[in-house]
Structure 1
């Protein structure tokens, strides 16, 4: 798999920044919530639990691809609104699963992270679609998928243009009936060896029973997982979906406290409790992620500038009036964002000059090639 995009940057691991939350850095990110969104009150209580435990992301299913057509299929758009509102109340990000293009259209502008479930891991048309959006995607491993098949599914998203892929190991189907699935912790290490993508673990769907969630979560942290996706419900006995594998609020908070000790033993950070401050390591990881985003966007800008240069005459490459308009607009934006205007005034002239020189160099090369085509060597 050495020629694939996902295997091309093993020396530089992907760090995905989502509105201040960094996945793939030094901090282990806790994601929690119910399998299915049922009501506004249920989601508000779930969000409070996740926040108190130090979690950063609220999960909740609103489109449920169930094995039985008679099982609860989700609340759809109504559920999305409950999820988003609850997350907003507690200052959390939110993630939900999409099952087709229609469901993606309904949530794309509302949630922070998109999830592709195990049953859709090889829904290649859906993977191509989410590959064209500018939003992180959690890709769950299929029920019987090999690690290579899982990574090739990720490749569909990456090759379509979306580099923000988070792999999720959630257990695979084996002959063992004691648990719902068999959690393959070795897949965490293998996926990290073969790719540069962050890897998280869903112990809830692997176990199918709440008494094993704690031990599997701790093992996942020790195995190098970048995050945990754990189901919690205000009253699991009344859950419409996956009640037996959902932790109570008290169990979820207790587990988060215990995970902090495990994280410390493997020298990674984990934030427990709503009042704990960011560590130097987590803040530096956030800065690294922002820097990476800035450079990617700057590279995108330079590509557009080169294309623009192809449309200009060589003596009209530099447009001073256009540059002044851009600087003024960005100075105004910087003021709104409480950034020093001087920062814009110092940085952008350098960006403009580099762009102009790049356009001139490219046009001269084009004209030289044209002369070579029209007047072959020795024909003048």
Structure 2
């Protein structure tokens, strides 16, 4: 019997278009002999729409961003009933990046509906989305990382000069200013002086009410993929070599102005440290399914964890799938593994007793 798979994509997020690219790639890779595929589109306004069952790949993003006058119309409650004979899904694959999708909100809904879903749960998703909370947990777990500080918008507005002085005193230049709750390098700025710092704060606060500022380090950017539930496995390591000053949104998704080197040219001892730290970070946040773990490797050989991404870029040309391809897991197999991990974790949760 085929698995009824609901693909959840789009979303009320600045990363809406990235999600559509991901959905197109997954649909193309899915084996229609194994899966009945149902698109579930969330518009940029937050409206949920269900399209008809897909019979094969779509040709454009426009086909994925269907409107409410589709034959199926607005999302019916039966899609989330969990009863496959009543139009429900066997498992949901959230292909959502950023807030309102990767941050635990959708995962919480799926938990309440008792539906299996691919990827990380509520805690890991929300903590992994908020870079400040994530780094606080990493610090508690004893993971080495760069120095950082953070501000919420009201603190900054109340004393902008004090905020800038704190950054200069604690971190100095260069430093990076980032929205705390956004991925795909959106809203990130590198600052070399006060003028750039002031502009970076303004830019980052356009995308979030909280910002994080990190000390700039001269280091190589090394990434690994983590796959699994309670016994996660780690891929080979890859290296990002931006041709620009740093790996921003445009370099990731638009101009391809970045070299991805897989496997990374690192020695066995360094890989072992990265491997162990990736698993430690995965377990510290109680992750499940998939994570991309990003590290800095400094000139003196120090390994620092930068962040984890609980729903990394997932086209065949994104780092996470490429890492697993070089480890021996092709893209279609990777998708099937994630679906199986989702079902495995859901089955384990059903053993939890809810009465006494």
TM-score (norm 1): 0.27
Higher strand content, 1 or 2? 2
Bigger-Rg structure (1/2): 1
